Amino acid sequence: MRSESNDGVAVVEVRGLDVKYPSREQYSIKDISFSIDKGEFVWLAGDSASGKSTLMNCLCGFIPNIIPAEVNGTIIVNTKKDLNTLQLARHISMVHQDPESQFCTECVEDEIAFGLENRRVSRRKINKRIETTLKDLNCSELRHRKLHTLSGGEKQKVAIASMLVLNPRVLILDEPTSNLDPVSMEEVLKAIKNVRRKSKELTLILAEHRIGGLVDHVDRVLRLQNGKLKEDIEKFQRLGRKERREFSVYFYPKYKREIKQSCSVLKIEKLNYTVDDKNILDGINIEIYKGEIIALMGRNGSGKTTLIKHISGLLEVQEGNIKVFNKNMNSYKEIPPWKLGKYIGYVFQNPNHQIFENTVKTEMMFGPKNFGKGAKTAIRRLKDITKEKGINEDTHPHNLSFGQKRRLNIYSSSLHGPEIIIIDEPFSGQDHKNALLMADIMNRFWLSGKTLIIVTHSLDFAKKFCTRALVLSKGSIVYDEEPQRLKDIEGEKVWKA
């Protein structure tokens, strides 16, 4: 459905767009053509590696001006073609999937002012625009905060504000809710809806696997598949409500679990961690047994990442004790992180933070090479990655899709045979197909006798896949039972605790 406010003027036109990266044999985008009218709200859908990120980077001019690629075809923005990156920045702003990757300053006010200062806007106008933009996003209270103190949802709002303040004609949002807990996700979606109410002329392009409540606000769906425009649903709101909802729901199968009594592999006692006189972890006591699958849950900022960084040895214990296979971790001297990695595999939330090599093959071999075991398994698993279209063992890991990088991270961190595997948000940025594939990989680990600690916001996944749920709130454990006992109402209280 075309936006009611549009006047028939195409703000973006794409004609016969082809994109091919130097390291790949196949085109990432092939013969794509469409136009978007002023004021439209477009959902850019498609599986991982379908070409969504490539298309968005082309619209912003990052490809080929910053990211090298062979590009054919025409992109017309606001009736002008062949614009360079700086010229396009006057018309199109993009919020990246990882908001921290585009932060340039240390505090909220400076970050939002950054673009306007580069355009030499007067201080009076900058202050007014910051005030108005934060108000539109319902987050005026963040103005004087330090960026490092913000939760994931708050950082996402600031990233949106830093682009929205520039008054772009087109705002592109790349997976704005993929790393958020349910409450933070709802806050960001509410902010996006509020922006739509305030500015009917702003064109929104949203790339997202699950769009939640926004499914009833989208005008149009452009769905990519294997680099081609597979579907263009111009009258999305005319579809039935059930049909629209099917576009954005994930379904996980029920996994069979047999819980056996087993030995303790990890024990945490009275763990406290403080930063700038603020308690991040407050008296954590946990004992985990071999073969358990732990769903570690809670709001953004509740202490989940801090806890798993302690378990994996990336943060030194300030107060309390952690035992891994009866070895104390309260001192780096007894079991330093590089030795702990033999027993614990840790997969970061952002796959870009865990790539160390220049080819898929050498990255896959990173763990086995460093620990001297698992090389034969790594070679077998290499085929799982390279059998996908356009990827070979010499492909640079950064040229993979988000989902492909995630699987590569999991393999490189686990193939040397650690007994405990920690995975931070495995489904972040994943389409349904890749989410199920990721679950299958983790299930194979469990079947081989591994203990899993999985940070997740998906209550459905926790109930169907995991044997135990640990929910954190403000640095404390507020729930430690079977995930099936987390009812909707009770779970809502836990999320909001």
Percent of the chain with pLDDT over 90: 45
Does residue 306 carry a pLDDT above 50?
yes
Nearest of 182, 78, 180, 202 to residue 133 by alpha carbon? 202
Task: Look up residue 100 and give its DSSP letter.
Answer: G
Does residue 132 carry a pLDDT above 60?
yes
Whole-angstrom distance, CA of residue 29 vs CA of residue 225? 9
Residue 192 phi, psi (nearest 5): -65, -40
Output the DSSP codes for 274-297. EETTEEEEEEEEEEEETT-EEEEE
Give pLDDT, residue 331: 58
Say whether 11 sits in a helix, a strand or coil. Answer: strand
Q: Which residues, at least 6 apart from 141, have a Cβ–Cβ distance to it below 8 Å?
A: none
Give pLDDT, residue 489: 43
- Going by pLDDT thresholds of 50, 70 and 90, the confidence category of residue 169 is very high
Nearest of 412, 411, 409 to residue 425 by alpha carbon? 409
Nearest of 230, 211, 206, 240 to residue 41 by alpha carbon? 206
Give pLDDT, residue 470: 95
- Count of helices and strands (H, E) across the chain: 17, 20
Give pLDDT, residue 271: 94
Whole-angstrom distance, CA of residue 22 vs CA of residue 144? 44
| Structure-block tokens of residue 422 | 């920690």
- Going by pLDDT thresholds of 50, 70 and 90, the confidence category of residue 289 is very high
Beta strands 327-328; 10-20: pairing state: unpaired
Does residue 469 carry a pLDDT above 70?
yes
Whole-angstrom distance, CA of residue 44 vs CA of residue 34? 12
- Contact present, 315 and 307 (Cβ < 8 Å): no
Nearest of 28, 301, 297 to residue 148 by alpha carbon? 301
Q: How many CB atoms lie within 10 A of CB 116?
A: 20
Over residues 439-448, the pLDDT tens digits come to 999 999 999 9
Q: Residues 135, 138, 141, CA angle at the centre, nearest 5°?
A: 80
Whole-angstrom distance, CA of residue 425 vs CA of residue 405? 13
Over residues 396-411, the pLDDT tens digits come to 888 887 778 888 899 8
Does residue 176 carry a pLDDT above 90?
no
Say whether 92 sits in a helix, a strand or coil. Answer: strand
Q: Which residues face 483 on adjacent strands?
A: none
Output the DSSP codes for 183-229. HHHHHHHHHHHHHHHH-SS-EEEEE-S--GGGGGT--EEEEEETTEE
Does residue 192 carry a pLDDT above 50?
yes
Over residues 1-55, the pLDDT tens digits come to 444 445 567 899 999 999 998 877 789 999 999 999 999 999 998 887 789 999 9
Q: How many CB atoms lie within 10 A of CB 88?
A: 23
Task: Look up residue 357 and give its DSSP letter.
Answer: S
- Contact present, 64 and 83 (Cβ < 8 Å): no
- Ranges of H-type helices in 32-107: 52-60, 62-65, 85-88
- Average pLDDT (132-158) is 87
Whole-angstrom distance, CA of residue 295 vs CA of residue 423? 10
Task: Give percent helix, percent strand, percent coil of the chain, each to the nearest 5.
Answer: 35, 25, 35
- Average pLDDT (223-229) is 92
Whole-angstrom distance, CA of residue 244 vs CA of residue 224? 17
Whole-angstrom distance, CA of residue 272 vs CA of residue 58? 47
Whole-angstrom distance, CA of residue 302 vs CA of residue 147? 16
Give pLDDT, residue 1: 41
- Average pLDDT (209-219) is 79
Give pLDDT, residue 353: 85
- Contact present, 262 and 391 (Cβ < 8 Å): no
Q: How far apart are the first and last CA of the chain?
A: 40
- Going by pLDDT thresholds of 50, 70 and 90, the confidence category of residue 235 is confident
Over residues 253-285, the pLDDT tens digits come to 888 887 777 899 999 999 999 987 888 899 999
Over residues 351-403, the pLDDT tens digits come to 888 899 999 999 999 888 888 888 888 888 888 788 776 688 888 888 887 77
Over residues 420-463, the pLDDT tens digits come to 999 998 887 777 788 888 899 999 999 999 999 999 988 889 99
Residue 263 phi, psi (nearest 5): -80, 160
Q: Which bin fits 325, alpha (ψ -120 to 50), beta or left (φ > 0)?
A: left
